[in-house]
């Protein structure tokens, strides 16, 4: 680890120089991608590589946001499980994906359709999948638009025409069941995409594909991807380990490192109790599940990593969460939220833990996490049978998979926390691999309210490094969409009931709201078209977490339309 | 005891119109660590509770006793035919189709487990 740190530190200037010395077009793209704020374009999933989900545009601001209104709306076809994707925008064109990996290119000012693309999917396979057929995002680069599919393909489309350029099969989804639902990430010439995994007994690969040729260049298995990692899976349990990297990471050009979060191991829950290093279904630490890993984008080689939860026994992925790259004094840091409700702060050069702080109040799977080392303190390892008290947070997490936002103007990190727990009974299970891999859960469970009140959510505005709270807004139900911060001193939160809120980034005071009529579980962006700023919000309810809301909250979710959606775009009057 | 009784009762209802045991063996093998043995096993030998906790409990909470992502199953008024058909064909956007994944014997074992559930 120390070696990596010194080596990377010494090469940082060279790596940055290499990025900036690329072709003029490439250099321009790199500058925009490495900026703190997204400008006229929103060209990558997290806004820029710094993952702030922050727009530098300020036409729409705290003074005039009361005049925000719907500019245009687009309705996608076959919006099964609503809309879950984050749009992109470039040169006044808005691109987004819907279920079945359908892609739409629209005039950003009017919503006029420029082109659409609907891949032919293996519908028989899709019907057998649990997490389908939604898609959570796309990527742009090399004049192409990239989208993954639930039947295991990565497809490149001509960005101007929507015509297929190449179509690459990366996963045998008929066998492993999982495919791709998350957005790819373009880094230099490479398109990087991670497979679903977690509770499915596979090895959770992440792929690097050459964007121009469509040739697979590398594969990194998040389960036992190195000799060191293989030794952390007793009884050959790596063969059915789970893992995966189902949401896109980010890129640090100074260390030429792609940061990616990995999913949990399978089964989700095991019965070995405190003896998990030697017994149970997957004895050992289970590397590199529930970890943040830094990969060389050119080779896929692992540079360094930190396992946030060694031997994750609670389904608290590291696959959720953006990688917020900030500098404090002379330190270069990256902030990453874990599904458990803890937020980790790392040294960007080597993944050394700099701090760990809790975003949510109801946590009992550990007594704490050492903020200096990241070591888990007082693990609550489960045994066979019914747990005496509910596990907190619940399987839906203290933090869900959509992203928070960071404003370099206020220095605050805006992030949704979720307060809920679950009763559970652990049972022994056996991985099902034939004829097609199946979920391996290992417990019966039921979501319940936490000890301190109702199941609920909150938007926190905190210092991203210390976790110090500046302000908080509470919600009856946790919002499940991404958050957007803007230079107009605004924070936007699309909520679960269908209302979009705009708050003052300084104080949390609500300044504007609009009811889109259906819940949100997608990404929100801002962009410029024809000299005018727009806010684009996909609406459309239906995801594994949102599906819990009928039992938890009743109305309006009981009667809320699912399998429908709309992209609603706002501008000033 | 109750589960055992219900297993047998459910078998009596369902078995006549299911494919024969031989046909079940020719279809996709059961998907556990020992697939051939499972495929040859009768529903009586398959642990429906374990299968439920492996896969079904992800959505049907508290072992099927409570609504969650999927509906509550204990004391359901749905017929055996409906439940078996739903397990086999699924429901797009809500439930996967397990018809080519689980053997008929496994599906009967899951049904028996559901029928044996108390609230």
For residue B36, CA distances in Å to A401, A463, A541, B24, B47 come to: 39, 57, 41, 12, 16
Q: Are the CB atoms for B52 and B65 separated by under 8 Å?
A: no
Instruction: Enumerate residues 6+ apart whose C-beta is below 8 A from A98.
Output: A76, A77, A78, A79, A83, A85, A104, A135, A565
Using a CB-CB cut-off of 8 Å, the residues of chain A touching B93 are 80-81, 133, 542, 562-563
Using a CB-CB cut-off of 8 Å, the residues of chain A touching B85 are none
**What is the number of structural domains in chain B?**
1
Using a CB-CB cut-off of 8 Å, the residues of chain A touching B35 are 433-434
Q: Which residue stretches of chain A have pLDDT < 50?
A: 1-27
**Three-class secondary structure of residue A157 per DSSP:** strand
Rounded CA separation A179/B93 (Å): 16
- Phi first, then psi: give them for residue A275, nearest 5 degrees: -90, 25
**pLDDT tens across B21-76, in order?**
333 333 332 223 333 334 445 656 788 999 898 999 999 999 999 998 899 999 99
Q: Where are the beta strands (DSSP E) in A359-498?
A: 368-369, 376-377, 385-386, 405-407, 412-419, 421-426, 443-448, 456-462, 469-475, 484-486, 490-494
Cβ separation B54–A440 shorter than 8 A? yes
Dihedral (Cα; A224, A227, A228, A233), 10-degree rounding: 40
The residue to which tokens 């006029």 are assigned: A112
CB atoms within 10 A of CB B74: 16
For residue A502, CA distances in Å to A66, A354, A404, A509, A510 come to: 9, 32, 14, 8, 6
- The reported pLDDT for the residue numbered B43 is 59
Q: Among residues A334, A254, A323, A263, which one has the least CA distance to residue A47?
A: A323
Per DSSP, what are the bridge partners of residue A146? A139, A156
Distance from CA of B91 to the nearest CA of A (A): 8
Q: For the whole prediction, is pTM greater than 0.95? A: no
Distance from CA of A331 to the nearest CA of B (A): 42
B-chain residue closest to A99, CA distance: B93
Token output for A376: 């888990």
Distance from CA of B66 to the nearest CA of A (A): 7
Of A126, A441, A562, the CB nearest to B53: A441
- The reported pLDDT for the residue numbered B28 is 31
- The reported pLDDT for the residue numbered A272 is 95
Token output for A488: 């107009």
The residue to which tokens 């053997």 are assigned: B103
- The reported pLDDT for the residue numbered B42 is 60
Half-sphere exposure of A426 (CA within 13 A, CB side): 21
Rounded CA separation A441/A418 (Å): 22
Using a CB-CB cut-off of 8 Å, the residues of chain A touching B117 are none
The DSSP-derived string for A76-103 is -S--TT---PBPEEETTEEEEE-GGG-E
Degrees to nearest 5, angle at CA A527 with A411 and A91 = 135
- The reported pLDDT for the residue numbered B15 is 38
Full residue range of the structural domain in which residue B99 is found: 2-115
Token output for A169: 């099969």
Q: Give the mean model confidence (pLDDT) for residues B92-110.
A: 93
The residue to which tokens 């089964």 are assigned: A267
Partner A contacted by B74 (CB < 8 A): no
Cβ separation B101–A562 shorter than 8 A? no
DSSP A546: G
Q: Are the CB atoms for B8 and B15 separated by under 8 Å?
A: no
A-chain residue closest to B30, CA distance: A434
Partner A contacted by B25 (CB < 8 A): no
Cβ separation A128–B32 shorter than 8 A? no
Rounded CA separation A350/A344 (Å): 14
Rounded CA separation A286/A283 (Å): 8
Q: B92 falls in which pLDDT band (50, 70, 90)?
A: confident
Partner A contacted by B66 (CB < 8 A): yes
- The reported pLDDT for the residue numbered B119 is 79
Rounded CA separation B114/B102 (Å): 16
Half-sphere exposure of A242 (CA within 13 A, CB side): 31
Distance from CA of A551 to the nearest CA of B (A): 6
Q: Are the CB atoms for A242 and A223 separated by under 8 Å?
A: yes
Token output for A47: 């806004």
Give the residue numbers of A marked as catalytic.
315
Cβ separation A430–B33 shorter than 8 A? yes
Cβ separation A80–B49 shorter than 8 A? no
- The reported pLDDT for the residue numbered A562 is 87
Cβ separation B101–A435 shorter than 8 A? yes
Token output for A423: 């009763």
Rounded CA separation A364/A423 (Å): 13
Instruction: Enumerate residues 6+ apart whose C-beta is below 8 A from A456.
Output: A418, A419, A420, A474, A475, A476, A477, A478
The residue to which tokens 């964007």 are assigned: A211
Q: Tell me the CATH number at B76.
A: 1.10.760.10
Token output for A52: 């702030």
Residues in A whose CB is inside 8 Å of some CB of B read 80-81, 126-130, 133, 199, 267, 423, 425, 427-436, 438-447, 542, 544, 547-548, 550-551, 562-563
Using a CB-CB cut-off of 8 Å, the residues of chain A touching B58 are 130, 199, 439, 441
CB atoms within 10 A of CB B36: 11
User: Residue A164: in which H helix or E strand, if any?
Assistant: strand A164-169
Q: Parallel, antiparallel, or unpaired for β A566-572 and A525-529? A: unpaired
Cβ separation A544–B69 shorter than 8 A? yes
Quote the ipTM score.
0.83
Distance from CA of B63 to the nearest CA of A (A): 5
Residue B46 Rama label (left phi>0; alpha psi -120 to 50; beta): beta
């Amino acid at each position: 680890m120390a070696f990596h740190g010194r080596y990377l530190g010494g090469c940082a200037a060279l790596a940055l120089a290499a990025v900036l010395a690329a072709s003029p077009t490439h250099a321009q793209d790199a500058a925009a991608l490495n900026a703190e704020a997204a400008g006229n374009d929103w060209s990558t999933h997290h806004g820029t590589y710094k993952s702030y989900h922050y727009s530098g545009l300020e036409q729409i601001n705290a003074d005039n946001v009361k005049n925000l209104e719907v500019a245009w709306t687009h309705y996608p076809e076959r919006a099964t499980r609503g809309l879950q994707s984050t749009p992109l925008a470039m040169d006044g064109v808005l691109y987004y994906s819907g279920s079945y990996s359908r892609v739409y290119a629209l005039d950003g000012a009017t919503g006029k359709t420029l082109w659409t693309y609907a891949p032919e999917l293996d519908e028989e396979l899709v019907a057998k999948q649990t997490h389908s057929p939604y898609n959570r995002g796309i990527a742009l680069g090399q004049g192409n638009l990239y989208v993954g599919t639930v039947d295991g393909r990565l497809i490149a489309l001509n960005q101007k025409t929507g015509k297929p350029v190449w179509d690459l099969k990366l996963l045998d989804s008929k066998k492993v069941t999982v495919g791709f639902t998350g957005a790819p990430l373009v880094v230099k010439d490479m398109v990087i995409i991670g497979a679903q995994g977690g509770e499915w007994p596979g090895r959770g690969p992440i792929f690097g594909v050459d964007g121009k040729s469509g040739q697979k260049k590398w594969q990194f298995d998040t389960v036992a991807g190195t000799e060191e990692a293989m030794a952390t899976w007793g009884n050959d349990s790596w063969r059915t380990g789970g893992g995966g990297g189902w949401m896109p990471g980010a890129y640090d050009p100074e260390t030429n490192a792609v940061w990616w979060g990995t999913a949990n191991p399978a089964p989700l829950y095991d019965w070995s109790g405190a003896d998990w290093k030697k017994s149970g279904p997957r004895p050992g630490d289970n590397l590199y599940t529930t970890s943040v890993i830094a990969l060389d984008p050119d080779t896929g080689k692992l540079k360094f990593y930190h396992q946030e939860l060694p031997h994750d026994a609670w389904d608290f992925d590291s696959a959720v969460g953006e990688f917020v790259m900030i500098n404090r004094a002379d330190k270069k840091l990256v902030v990453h939220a874990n599904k458990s409700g803890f937020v980790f702060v790392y040294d960007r050069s080597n993944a050394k833990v700099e701090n760990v702080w809790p975003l949510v109040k109801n946590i009992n799977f550990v007594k704490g996490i050492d903020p200096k080392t990241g070591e888990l303190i007082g693990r609550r390892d489960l045994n066979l049978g019914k747990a005496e008290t509910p596990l907190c947070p619940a399987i839906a997490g203290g933090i869900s998979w959509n992203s928070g936002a960071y404003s370099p103007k206020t220095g605050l990190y805006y992030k949704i926390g979720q307060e809920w727990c679950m009763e559970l009974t652990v049972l022994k299970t056996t991985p099902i691999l034939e004829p097609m891999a199946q979920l391996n859960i290992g417990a019966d469970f039921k979501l319940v309210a936490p000890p301190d009140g109702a199941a609920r959510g909150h938007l926190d505005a905190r210092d991203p490094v210390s976790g110090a709270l500046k302000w908080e807004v509470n919600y009856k139900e946790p919002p499940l969409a991404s958050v957007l911060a803007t230079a107009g001193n605004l924070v936007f939160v699309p909520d679960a009931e269908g209302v979009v809120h705009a708050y003052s980034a300084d104080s949390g005071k609500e300044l504007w709201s609009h009811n889109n009529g259906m819940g949100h579980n997608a990404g929100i962006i801002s962009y410029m078209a024809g000299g005018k700023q727009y806010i684009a919000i996909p609406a459309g309810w239906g995801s594994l977490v949102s599906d819990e809301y009928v039992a938890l909250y009743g109305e309006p979710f009981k009667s809320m339309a699912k399998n429908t959606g709309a992209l609603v775009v706002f501008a000033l009057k | 005891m109750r589960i055992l009784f219900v297993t047998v009762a459910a078998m009596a209802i369902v078995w006549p119109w299911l494919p024969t045991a031989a046909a079940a063996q020719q279809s996709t093998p059961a998907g556990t660590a020992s697939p051939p043995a499972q495929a040859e096993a009768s529903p009586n030998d398959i642990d429906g509770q374990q299968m439920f906790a492996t896969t079904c409990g992800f959505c049907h909470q508290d072992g099927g006793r409570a609504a969650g992502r999927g509906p509550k199953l204990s004391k359901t008024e749905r017929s055996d035919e409906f439940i078996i058909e739903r397990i086999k064909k699924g429901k797009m956007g809500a439930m996967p189709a397990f018809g080519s994944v689980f053997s008929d014997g496994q599906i009967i074992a899951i049904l028996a487990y559901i029928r044996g559930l108390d609230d």
